[in-house]
Structure 1
Amino acid sequence: MADDGSKQSQATWPMVKFSFKLMWDGKEIIFQEVTGLTSETQVIEYRGGSSPVYSVVKMPGIAKFNNITLKKGIFKGDTTLWDNYDLIKMNTIKRSTIVISLLDETGTAAMNWTLTNAFPCKMTVTDMKSDANEVAVETMEVAHEGLHLTK
């Protein structure tokens, strides 16, 4: 008899990546794509001169967080990303908290990634071609100082 999956627990299935939301300072902004959620720890290599072992000792160093990239369709009159980008002033930038949530099948946040001290650092407007049949997409790159996972 074929297994219909009825005895399998809900926790067995992996999350889908197409259902997510992004909150920027408590305000939801709809995006088509979010990429670049990465954290990296630099490795410090050290070897004492009197060490009998001819190899280095590796220790964790400074954490590094890559910029994230946000992509969304351009809608008439929607200037949300440009309004955030216009807040950049020399040495007086408004830093924000951004929460990116992966949603389960009920639309509830299953996992949250929080970016601390985030600010926009690059905007890219869509390319325009007279023979294209595509949605116009704008892209924002965001720099931040921390990536934390909460459940």
Structure 2
Amino acid sequence: MPSFPVNPKRLDPYKNFKFRVKWDGKYVAGVSKVGSLKRSTEVVEHREGGDPSTSHKSPGRTKYEAITFERGLTQDLNFHDWAGLVWNYGAGLGSEVSLANFRKDIYLEVYNEAGQLVIAYRIYRCWVSEYQALPDLDANANAIAIEHIKLENEGWERDTSVTEPAEPTLTSVAT
């Protein structure tokens, strides 16, 4: 992967408002907000017995933070159904959790202003640790009802097969 931009004319960073989420091979409708992808590595400090004034640092365990997805409440049951695989209230002893398929891999796509795919990430072994089916309801409010899920994951990586596209130009402008 080159360390210099493929498109040297692009000076602006990509915006954060054009993206799509895919799981089970299908795009998920209406996702309006995706939390950040964040990982952190613990620091292991140690020192040598003959050098008491200095410590050395090395990497320890790496953790991947949970990711939240939000969308306006609709009749689409994607969030509800996935959350039900982790815990299905009233399902009966031995069938509360769907161990075979409660984890999913997710594909997150980011697009430029022209709608061209520019960056993508694979997020591995996700499962729903928190599900909000309904927000606070308020008869005096003027807002969209939002549902959200919090996804635990076991890592992510950038899809390096997605490269910077040639940006489109307008050939003529109507006056």
The TM-score normalised by the length of structure 1 is 0.86
> Offset at 1:112?
1.1
Q: Which residue of 1 aligns with 2:46?
A: 46
Aligned CA RMSD, in angstroms, stands at 1.8
Specify which structure has the higher proportion of strand: 1
Q: Is 1:95 matched with 2:103?
A: yes
Shift of 1:150: 2.1
Question: In 2, are the aligned partners of 1:39 and 1:147 still within 8 Å (CA)?
Answer: no
Q: Matches of 1:91 and 1:46 in 2, distance apart? A: 43
- Measured at CA, do residues 116 and 40 of structure 1 come closer, stay the same or move farther in structure 2, by a change above 3 Å? same
1:5 counterpart residue number? none
The one-letter code sitting in structure 2 at the alignment partner of 1:127 is: D
Percent identity, aligned pairs only? 25
* CA offset digits 1:34-79 (Å, max 9, x no partner): 01310111111111222x251210101111100001110001x221
Give, in whole Å, the separation in 2 of the partners of 1:91 and 1:85: 10
**Structure 1 unaligned blocks of 5 or more:** 1-7
1:106 CA displacement? 3.0
Equivalent residue, structure 2, for 1:32:
32
Counterparts of 1:9 and 1:48 in 2: how far apart (Å)?
48
Partner in structure 2 of residue 72 of structure 1 = 71
CA distance in 2, matches of 1:113, 1:39: 14
Which secondary structure does the structure 2 equivalent of 1:83 belong to? helix
1:141 corresponds, among 144, 150, 170, to: 150
1:122 alignment partner, one of 119, 127, 130: 130
Question: Any idea what SS the aligned residue of 1:84 has?
Answer: helix
Give me the whole-angstrom Cα distance separating, in 2, the residues matched to 1:78 and 1:91.
Answer: 20
Contact 2:79 2:149 in 1 (8 A): yes
What residue identity is the alignment partner of 2:137?
A: M
Report the Cα offset of residue 9 of structure 1. Answer: 4.6
Aligned residue pair count = 142
* TM-score, length basis structure 2: 0.75
- State the match for 1:3 in structure 2: none
1:56 corresponds to: 55
Q: Whole-Å Cα distance in 1 between the matches of residues 150 and 32 of structure 2? A: 14
